[in-house]
Structure 1
Amino acid sequence: MSGVAVVTGPSRGIGRAAALALARRGLSVALLGRPSPRLDEVTDEVRRLDVSALPVPCDVASEDQVARAAAEVVAWLGAPHVIVNNAGIVRRGTRVHETSPAAWDEVIAVNLRGPYLVSRAFLPAMLARGRGRLVHVGSISSTIASPGNASYAASKWGLVGFSKSLAEELRGTGLQSIAVLPGSVDTDMLAGSGFPPQMSADEVAQLIAYAALDAPDAVTGSALEMFG
């Protein structure tokens, strides 16, 4: 199929796998991430699949950067058919009373404020199209306790609430909002967690692609769990 996908945090792990999975389905991909050799590499990988790739330097926690990125994507590629809010960070290993406000705010800014800013920036163009999907990458930490990692768990619990609330706001518009909650994924982020990997980034990307392109509209508001 043709269309446009926006993937945040596409340089590695789930984001990279999702960008490639959507490119294989024929979508052009806008790659919103911080500048790095890895961002350049995934841009080249997407282009080798004979679709357009637009790398856009962007910190998803920055309102100004997200607004500029959205304007560039819409100008060059058009309104997105798919948004994948994947960018995320983790700062584990400290109990709540040992966690600095700065470290807490950093996690919430990327993992929860980021999806809000990205969705907010692209929704006007998507609503004008009257069709599209927003897929938000949560975690099993969206549903369980995560001692020593409360900021991450709080951000991911919040992301599910955001996704479900957005789904209700979008009823009747032709747009859907869906969360995907993977378990222990074999990525750099898992290192140091103490949990063995139960699935690959490519397996998570398959579910993201299904949610974005194949699932019935009635899946809106769902939180699709992958426990491995």
Structure 2
Amino acid sequence: MYKNKVVFVTGAANGLGNAIAKAYAKLNAFVIAIDIVDTKFNEKNIDFYKADLKSEDQIKNVFKDVVKKHGSVHVLINNGAISKFNKSIFDIELSEFDDVISVNLRGSFICSKEFIKANEGENYGRIINIASTRFNQNEAGWEAYGASKGGLISLTNTMAISLSETPITVNAISPGWIKVDDYELSDIDKKQHPSGRVGVPKDIVNACLFLTNEDNDFINGSNIIIDGGMTKKMIYIDDKWNL
């Protein structure tokens, strides 16, 4: 399905990005994996580039080299993010807020700009922005992360319109709780989800593969929430009610 397609995945060292990169490689795409952390892939059709999403020059240089080698890029998955940062609004420094926005939102914008140029002349192009359900529902202390993901949703909406004269579609995926690390889950962790379980990377991978399918060009400007139904659930704190 993805043979001869070049797929660019940011934040590919671990977690969701790693699973996404390997899934496309398994389907015979040539994958460009980007991360600030050095990473080795066993797959022959994955090329790793170390790059900081805050650096416009580094991102431009990666795209320049990829286009030189492959001629074009067909799919961009903007997954790279500072994802575990939370800090009280009373304590967070502006520099810390700026770092999260610079990586999560500005970095995705730079990659998108370079992707649009790299995709020029093609009849197929896909951008997927990995956002989060925290764009809409949140907890205290997640201002920076939530704002970055909210901005990513807005960026998705606008780019879909701006690129309407091109073959590029732009969509977002907002994951809820996705278990990417090795830790134990309680029964409550699972049962509080209407789907009866916590998400796994494959749930996000499947959505990416669907949205970037060459036949799916009518899904555009959408944000697909993949959270097992949690954001549809009304939760009240009541000592008489247990999950």
Shorter-chain TM-score above 0.5: yes
Task: Work out the CA distance in 1 between the residues paired with 2:95 and 2:189.
Answer: 29
Unaligned runs of 5+ in 1: none
Structure 1 segment 1-228 matched on structure 2, within 5 A: 1=1, 2=3, 3-36=5-38, 39-40=39-40, 43-44=41-42, 46-47=43-44, 52-188=45-181, 196=189, 198-213=198-213, 216-228=216-228
Task: Work out the CA distance in 2 between the residues paired with 1:143 and 1:215.
Answer: 30
Task: Work out the CA distance in 1 between the residues paired with 2:130 and 2:136.
Answer: 13
What RMSD, in angstroms, separates the aligned Cα atoms of the two structures? 2.1
Task: Work out the CA distance in 1 between the residues paired with 2:37 and 2:179.
Answer: 23
Distance 1:215 1:92, change over 3 A: farther
**Does the 8 Å CA contact 1:90/1:189 hold for their aligned counterparts?**
no
Task: Work out the CA distance in 2 between the residues paired with 1:101 and 1:221.
Answer: 31
Task: Work out the CA distance in 1 between the residues paired with 2:97 and 2:23.
Answer: 32
Unaligned runs of 5+ in 2: 191-197, 229-243
**Does the 8 Å CA contact 1:146/1:153 hold for their aligned counterparts?**
no
Which moves more between the two structures, 148-157 or 203-212? 203-212
Task: Work out the CA distance in 2 between the residues paired with 1:61 and 1:188.
Answer: 25
Which moves more between the two structures, 156-165 or 85-94? 85-94
Which moves more between the two structures, 142-151 or 102-111? 142-151
Structure with higher helix content: 1
- Rg bigger for which structure? 2
Distance 1:151 1:189, change over 3 A: farther
Deviation at 1:35, TM superposition (A): 4.0
Task: Work out the CA distance in 1 between the residues paired with 2:85 and 2:62.
Answer: 30
Distance 1:104 1:210, change over 3 A: same
SS at match of 1:181: strand
Task: Work out the CA distance in 1 between the residues paired with 2:115 and 2:182.
Answer: 27
Distance 1:188 1:105, change over 3 A: farther
Deviation at 1:196, TM superposition (A): 4.4
Deviation at 1:34, TM superposition (A): 1.8
Equivalent pairs, count: 216
**Does the 8 Å CA contact 2:129/2:171 hold for their aligned counterparts?**
yes
One-letter code aligned to 2:100? V
Which moves more between the two structures, 88-97 or 78-87? 88-97
Q: Percent identity?
A: 26
Task: Work out the CA distance in 2 between the residues paired with 1:33 and 1:128.
Answer: 27
One-letter code aligned to 1:104? F
Tell which has more relative contact order, 1 or 2 (C-alpha 8 A, sep 6+): 1
SS at match of 1:59: coil
